[in-house]
């Protein structure tokens, strides 16, 4: 267990360094290509609800996705981490002005003006990760929020990642969840029956 934790931390640092090495121009181009591939998926087109993280500087950008989904008439819900737990809840937003800086410096919904949802019918969940592997396993930030949520989520799970951070096989534990589709700036990959 300790070796798994150390190996994941080593890989996190490796991916952080890779991402930090992108020029601003490179990152914008990669984000643009990922965005184009993502919105071309029929799973995106046919969904009525997009569950998405709100990106930080080091992550694949989702701000453009939020704006596009709203302009396409879709509902958009973003996560709020619950203090003192490893759980998160999703709240509908109608624009970026519904967000405020909160846990871990992440933009989260203003819960006094946003409505919580527990109904994820006809939704797609956009999943962040420092790295993913070809089986759909992800390397997150080590807090477990997304794995807990995804374990009970029945919609389509889409991971966003830069191709140079995709690995052949990541170390994974029994509580690690997989995504159904992986989207990078170079390709998208449908994951079939992941095996631990």
- Specify the number of domains making up the chain: 1
Q: Kind of pairing, strands 75-81 and 88-93?
A: antiparallel
Structure tokens at 122: 């006809």
In a domain, 159, yes or no: yes
In a domain, 195, yes or no: no
In a domain, 29, yes or no: yes
Q: Which residues span the domain enclosing 89?
A: 2-190
Q: What is the pLDDT along the chain (196 residues), one digit of tens a residue?
A: 558 788 889 999 999 999 999 999 999 999 999 999 999 999 999 999 999 999 999 999 999 999 999 999 999 999 998 878 889 999 999 999 999 998 667 899 999 999 999 999 999 999 999 999 999 999 988 777 899 999 999 999 999 999 999 999 998 888 889 999 999 999 999 997 655 4
Could you tell me how many helices (H) and strands (E) the chain has, helices first? 5, 13
pLDDT of amino acid 196: 46
In a domain, 169, yes or no: yes
Structure tokens at 24: 């601003």
Paired with 109 in beta bridges are: 99
In a domain, 196, yes or no: no
Q: What is the CATH number of the domain that holds 40?
A: 3.40.50.10420
SS3 20: helix
In a domain, 57, yes or no: yes
In a domain, 119, yes or no: yes
In a domain, 22, yes or no: yes
CA–CA dist 127, 196 (Å, integer): 19
pTM equals: 0.93
pLDDT of amino acid 3: 83
């Amino acid at each position: 267990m300790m070796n798994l934790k150390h190996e994941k931390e080593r890989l996190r640092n490796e991916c952080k360094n890779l991402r930090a090495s992108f020029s601003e121009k490179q990152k914008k181009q990669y984000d643009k290509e990922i965005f184009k591939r993502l919105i071309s998926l029929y799973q995106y087109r046919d969904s009525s609800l997009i569950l998405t993280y709100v990106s930080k500087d080091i992550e694949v950008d989702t701000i453009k996705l939020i704006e596009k989904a709203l302009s396409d008439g879709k509902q958009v819900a973003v996560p709020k981490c619950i203090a003192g737990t490893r759980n998160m809840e999703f709240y509908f937003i109608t624009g970026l002005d519904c967000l405020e800086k909160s846990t871990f410096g992440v933009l989260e919904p203003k819960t006094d003006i946003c409505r919580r949802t527990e109904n994820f019918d006809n939704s797609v969940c956009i999943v962040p990760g420092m790295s993913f592997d070809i089986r759909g396993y992800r390397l997150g930030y080590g807090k477990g929020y997304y794995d807990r949520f995804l374990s009970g989520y029945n919609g389509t799970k889409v991971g966003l990642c830069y191709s140079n951070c995709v690995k052949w096989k990541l170390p994974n534990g029994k509580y690690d969840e997989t995504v159904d589709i992986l989207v990078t700036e170079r390709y998208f990959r449908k994951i079939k029956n992941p095996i631990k």
